[in-house]
Amino acid sequence: MPTIVLDPPSKSKDKTEQNQTSSSSTADNNNDDDEDHVTSAIRKTGCYPFHEKLQECYIEKKDWRKCTQEMLEFRSCMQKIQRTTNPSTPSSSSSSKQ
C-alpha cells in the first residue's frame, strides 16, 4: 500500500497565509501599474503640472469643491490637447454650454 504523507497543520496554515500575502501584493502591484499608466498618459499630454496642482489642492483641502480653479486649469489643458490631437471632431464642451 502507498504511504501518504500529510503536512502538519502549522505548515499548511503557513502556505495559505503565504498565498494570501502573495495575492494581495500582486493586486497592489497591479494598482501601482494602473497609476503609473495614468500618470504616464497625463505626463505625455504636458498637463501634468496642472494635474499635480489639483492633487496637492485636494490633499490640502480634502474637498474637490474647494479646488475648482485647479480643476478648471487642468480641464482646460486637457481640452486643448484633445482639440489638437482630434481637430476633426467637434468640441463637446461648446455644444453642452448652449
Does the pTM surpass 0.75? The reply is: no
Rounded (5°) CA angle 53-77-74: 30
Q: Quote the CA–CA distance of 21 and 15 in Å, as a whole number.
A: 10
Max Cα-Cα span within the chain: 84
- 10 or 44, which is more confident: 44
- 34 or 87, which is more confident: 87
- In this structure, the number of other CB atoms found within 10 A of the CB of residue 88 comes to 4
- In this structure, the number of other CB atoms found within 10 A of the CB of residue 29 comes to 10
Q: How far is CA 42 from the centre of its chain?
A: 11
What is the per-residue pLDDT across 37-96, written as a single tens digit (0 to 9) for each? 888 999 999 999 999 999 999 999 999 999 999 999 999 999 998 888 887 655 554 444
